[in-house]
Structure 1
Amino acid sequence: MSAVAGAAGTTSGGAALLAVAGVLAGLAGTAGGITSLISYPALLAVGLPALSANIANIVAVVATWPGAALASRRELAGRGAWLRRWALVAALGGAAGSVLLLTTPPGVFGRIVPFLVVAGSLTLFAQPRLAARHGRSSAGRPSRLRRAVMPFGLTAMSLYSGYFGAGAGVMILALLLSTGEPRLPTANALKNMLTGAAALTSAVVFTAVGPVDWAAVAPLAAGMFAGATLGPRITRRVPAALLRWLVGGLGLGLAVQLWATPGG
Structure 2
Amino acid sequence: MTWWHAVVIFIAGMWAGTINTVVGSGTLVTFPVLVALGYPPVTATTSNAVGLAPGTVSGAYGYRHELVGYWPQVMRFAVASFFGAIGGTVLLLTLPKGAFEKIVPVLVGLAVVLVIVQPKVSKWVQKRREANGREHHAGPLLFGLLFVIGIYGGYFTAAQGVMMMAVMGMLLSEPLQRLNGVKNVLSAVVNIVAGTIYAFVAPVSWPVIGLLALGSTIGGQLGARIGRKLPPAVLRGVIVVIGLAAVVQLVLK
1:113-151: CA deviations, max 9, x gaps? Answer: 4447635753541323323323433646x33xx414311
Match of 2:131 in 1: 136
Give distance in 2, aligned partners of 1:178 and 1:110.
Answer: 28
CA distance in 2 between partners of 1:181 and 1:120 (Å): 22
Please give the secondary structure, in 2, of the residue aligned with 1:63: helix
Contact 1:75–1:189 under 8 Å retained in 2: yes
- Quick one: distance in 1 between partners of 2:105 and 2:139? 28
TM-score normalised by length of structure 1: 0.80
CA distance, structure 1, for counterparts of residue 7 and residue 105 of structure 2:
34
Q: CA deviation at 1:84?
A: 0.9
* C-alpha RMSD over aligned residues: 2.8
Contact 1:34 1:166 survives alignment (8 Å): yes
Q: Specify whether residues 148 and 123 from structure 1 end up closer, same or farther in structure 2 by C-alpha distance, changes over 3 A only.
A: farther
Aligned residues: 246
- 1:189 corresponds in structure 2 to 181
Taking the aligned partners of 1:125 and 1:226, their CA distance within structure 2 comes to 30
**Cα shift readout 1:76-107 (whole Å, capped 9, x = no counterpart):** 22221012111121121112101100101323
> Which residue in 1 is equivalent to 2:21?
30
Native 8 Å contact 1:121 1:171 kept in 2: no
1:91 to 76, 82, 86: 82
- Alpha-carbon distance, 1:207 to partner: 2.1
Structure 2: gaps (5+ residues): none
2:93 to 90, 102, 109: 102
Match of 1:4 in 2: none
Aligned partner of 1:226 among 213, 218, 229: 218
Aligned residue type for 2:229: R
The answer to whether residue 36 in structure 2 is matched with residue 45 in structure 1 is yes
2:18–2:221 CA contact under 8 A, matched in 1: yes
**Identity score, percent:** 26
The alignment status of 1:61 with 2:52, answered yes or no, reads yes
SS in 1 for 2:139: helix
Measured after TM superposition, the shift of residue 250 of structure 1 is: 6.3
| AA of the residue aligned to 2:59 | A
The answer to whether the 8 A contact 1:121-1:174 is kept is no
User: Which residue identity lines up with residue 81 of structure 1 in the other structure?
Assistant: P
* Partner secondary structure for residue 211 of structure 1: coil
The answer to whether the aligner puts 1:155 opposite 2:147 as a matched pair is yes
Alpha carbons of structure 1 residues 124 and 174: separation in structure 2 relative to 1, 3 Å: farther
Q: What letter matches 1:126 in structure 2?
A: V
SS at match of 2:226: helix
**For residues 131 and 205 of structure 1, do their structure 2 counterparts lie closer, same or farther at Cα, with a shift above 3 Å needed?**
same
1:193-232 alignment runs, 5 A limit: 193-232=185-224
Task: Report if aligned partners of 2:88, 2:151 keep a CA contact under 8 Å in 1.
Answer: yes
2-side partners of 1:126 and 1:215: how far apart? 38
Q: CA deviation at 1:222?
A: 0.6
**Runs of 5+ consecutive residues of structure 1 not aligned to the other structure:** 1-7
Which 10-residue stretch deviates more, 66-75 or 248-257? 248-257
